Chain A
Amino acid sequence: MITHLISFELTLAILIGFSVLWVCWGWYLGRKAKSQDDFALAGRNVGFALATATAMATWVTSNTTLVAPQLTYQFGVWGMLGYSMAALGLLLFAPLAQRIKTILPHGVTSGDFIYMRFGRFAWSVFLIISLCYALGWLVSLGMAGGILLSTLSPISYHTGMTVIITVCVLYTLLGGLRAVIATDFVQTLIIICGVCYIAYSALGQISLEQVHANVEQQQPQLLNLLFPAALMFFFNNVIFGIGEIFHSNVWWSRALAFKKGVGKKSFILAAMLWFPIPIVTGFIALSSNSLGIFPASPDMIGPLVAGELLGGAGAVLIFIIIFSALASSMDSLLAATSDLLSNDIYKKLLMKNASTQQILTVNKLMIVLLGLFTWLMSLPQITTLGALLNFTGAFVASTIWPILYGLYGNKLSNKGAGLAMMLGTIVGLIFYFQVGFYTAALASCFVSFVICQYFIRLRAIHFQWLQLKE
């Protein structure tokens, strides 16, 4: 077991350096944001380069750097490819982004669309699903921060997750979506350069021939294309990734923030550039056998292998990569979820006549409260990252069909959309607990599809699109 590869002083220096950088930059970018459009949607005029980078960075999370190696370690080649297929979510969201910008030019959140297109019942179910997912993801990011620090340095799990959550809350609070997008650009460059460097260094020390030969000898099922659990995981992850992106306000707020005509092409390019990253991070885990690394918890496999291959320098590099990956996703999630809480819960439910300034104030308050909630929930490290992540699959996969039929069709009713999401989630959860985590999203998506079909074919309505312009 390799621990404390980075000294306490060096860890502290890296943490303070990056924290000050992100927070000061966030403050600088956010100092002119006076309206909610400026704060929550970066002025609705984000260009192609920043749009592509932010789409990539948000999708390169701690999960890509920690869970992709974990899944490769557990499921072999299918784990690696299955995680990569999450790029399909970005690719399929590209046309949706264009459609969202067209039909909802003044919208702020995904909740706005569901409320106007389907009404209160479906909107309530959608909000519950969306918040469960967002909070689950936030907690997984907080946990990942703690795991990272405690694995690589003498800093404890609790201190690690406290630092990462505090830094992200601070710069999101100061700079809003503009700060999130700008930091995402730099974080993307850091992550990709770092991951490539580790991979090239690894290949310099241990050849793919050796890795293949060792895995073939010791764990041949990891190379088996007909490994049943891995195959199930592959398809489950595709559906999960699509569900995550289609419903989450993280992506809707980006679609609304990008300049007109930019959304579609930036999501397509982001998907193409994102696709190989989990393969690069995942393959490192395949070499763990050859190196004799058997981690106590599988989600530590990535940092441990990098540390073993590259020593102290590798540990520092992977620390910076994962710190950047964590920040790039946590800031996006904090911003998007606080928009959802202030715009959907506060404005629609509690204070219908709230002024823009009041909504902005509540938005900032929500960022702080979300940070506090994440911190509290991450305190007891209750599960592994992979398990927590896949738990939310049961929720999000149920939203795919209602959103598609809602955006492109006019026959699905409020009741149909609400029931599809509700029953899909329930069945998904049953499968999660009774069959396996890798079946939750598949079951949820299937049930939701059947219910949508029933309502479209037998209980169709004729929605008037003009209602969305109101």
Chain B
Amino acid sequence: MFVSELFLSTIVYTALCVSSVTPLVLLFLFFKDVMKKSLW
């Protein structure tokens, strides 16, 4: 039972998409906490 090219592409591209938006998510949360003065 071998991994197809489609399966490999799907997991790699999905992982890349999620990782690409991660910095934006973290920065958004950071500035939200700064505005609410609840960073620490």
With A49-B39, A208-B5, A208-B8 as known contacts, state yes or no: A279 contacts B23, CB within 8 Å. no
Q: Mark A383-403, 1 if CB is under 8 A from B, else 0.
A: 000000000000000000000
Cβ–Cβ < 8 Å partners of A178 in chain B: 40
A440 to chain B, nearest CB (A): 26
A216 CA / B5 CA spacing, docked (Å):
10
Residues of chain B lying within 8 A (CB to CB) of residue A358: none
Q: Are B8 and A212 in contact (CB under 8 A)?
A: yes
State A348–B36 Cα separation when bound (angstroms). Answer: 39
User: Mask for A205-238, Cβ within 8 A of B = 1, else 0?
Assistant: 0001101110010001001111000000000000
Q: Cβ of A275: which chain B residues have Cβ within 8 Å of it?
A: 15, 18
Q: Which residues of B (1-40) have their CB < 8 Å from a CB of A? A: 1-3, 5, 8-9, 11-12, 14-16, 18-20, 22-23, 25-27, 29-30, 32-33, 36, 38-40
Contacts of A52 in B (CB 8 A): 26, 29
B23 and A189 form a contact (CB under 8 A)? yes
Q: Check A223/B39 contact, CB under 8 A, given A48-B29, A48-B33, A199-B16.
A: no
Q: How far is the CB of A399 from chain B (nearest CB, A)?
A: 30
Interface pair A259/B38, CB less than 8 Å apart = yes
Residues of B within 8 A of A280 (CB): 12, 15-16, 19
Q: Is A273 an interface residue (CB 8 A)?
A: yes
Residues of A within 8 A of B12 (CB): 208, 279-280, 283
* Set A189, A200, A211, A276: member contacting B27, Cβ < 8 A: A189
Flag if A185 contacts B30 (CB, 8 Å): yes
Task: Please report whether the interface of chain A is mostly helix, strand, loop or mixed according to DSSP.
Answer: helix
Q: A78 — nearest CB in chain B belongs to which residue?
A: B3
Residues on B with beta carbons closer than 8 Å to the beta carbon of A272: 18
A425 in the interface, Cβ–Cβ < 8 Å? no
Q: Give CA–CA (A216, B11) in the complex, Å.
A: 17
Contact assessment for A45 and B16 in the assembled complex, using a CB-CB cutoff below 8 Å: no
Query: Which of chain A's residues have a CB closer than 8 A to the CB of B5?
Result: 208-209, 212-213
Return the contact of A273 from the options B25, B27, B33 (Cβ within 8 A).
B25
| A side interface size, CB within 8 A | 48
Task: For A359, list chain B residues within 8 Å (CB).
Answer: none
What residues on A are CB-neighbors of B32 within 8 Å? 48-49
Question: Are A224 and B1 in contact, with the CB atoms below 8 A?
Answer: yes
| Known contacts A48-B29, A189-B27; A223 and B3 CB within 8 A of each other | yes
Q: Is the CB of B1 within 8 A of A226?
A: yes
Q: A285 contacts the other chain (Cβ, under 8 Å)?
A: no
Question: Would you give the shortest CB distance from B40 to chain A, in whole angstroms?
Answer: 6
Which of chain B's residues have a CB closer than 8 A to the CB of A209? 5
How far does the Cβ of A71 sit from chain B's closest Cβ, in whole Å? 15
Q: Is A119 interfacial (CB-CB < 8 Å)?
A: no
User: Which stretch (A190-198, A369-377, A441-449) binds chain B?
Assistant: A190-198
Chain B residue at minimum C-beta to C-beta distance from A50:
B39
Shortest CB–CB separation between residue B25 and chain A, in angstroms?
A: 7
Taking a contact as CB atoms closer than 8 A, the residue among B2, B20, B39, B40 that contacts A216 in the complex is: B2
Chain A residues, CB < 8 A from B19: 192, 195-196, 199, 273, 276-277, 280
Q: Is A46 an interface residue (CB 8 A)?
A: yes
Contacts of B40 in A (CB 8 A): 42-43, 45-47, 50, 178
Given A50-B40, A188-B26, A189-B26, A225 contacting B16 (CB threshold 8 A): no
Q: How far is the CA of A241 from the CA of B27 in the complex (A)?
A: 27
B3 surroundings in chain A (CB, below 8 A): 76-77, 223-225
Q: How many angstroms from the CA of A81 to the CA of B3 in the assembled complex?
A: 12
Known A47-B39, A223-B3; judge A276-B14 contact (CB<8 A).
Answer: yes
Report Cα–Cα, A192/B17, bound state, in Å. 12
In the complex with contacts A48-B33, A53-B26, A189-B27, A220-B2 CB distance below 8 A: yes
Q: What are 15 inter-chain pairs, A to B, with CB distance below 8 A?
A: A47-B33, A47-B39, A49-B32, A80-B11, A178-B40, A188-B26, A192-B19, A195-B19, A199-B19, A223-B2, A224-B2, A225-B2, A259-B38, A277-B15, A280-B16
* Additional 7 contacts, C-beta under 8 A, given A49-B29, A189-B26: A48-B32, A189-B27, A192-B19, A224-B3, A275-B18, A279-B15, A280-B12
Which residues of B are in contact with A by a Cβ distance under 8 Å?
A: 1-3, 5, 8-9, 11-12, 14-16, 18-20, 22-23, 25-27, 29-30, 32-33, 36, 38-40
The 7 lowest CB-CB distance pairs between A and B, nearest first, are A276-B15, A49-B29, A279-B15, A49-B30, A212-B5, A47-B33, A223-B3
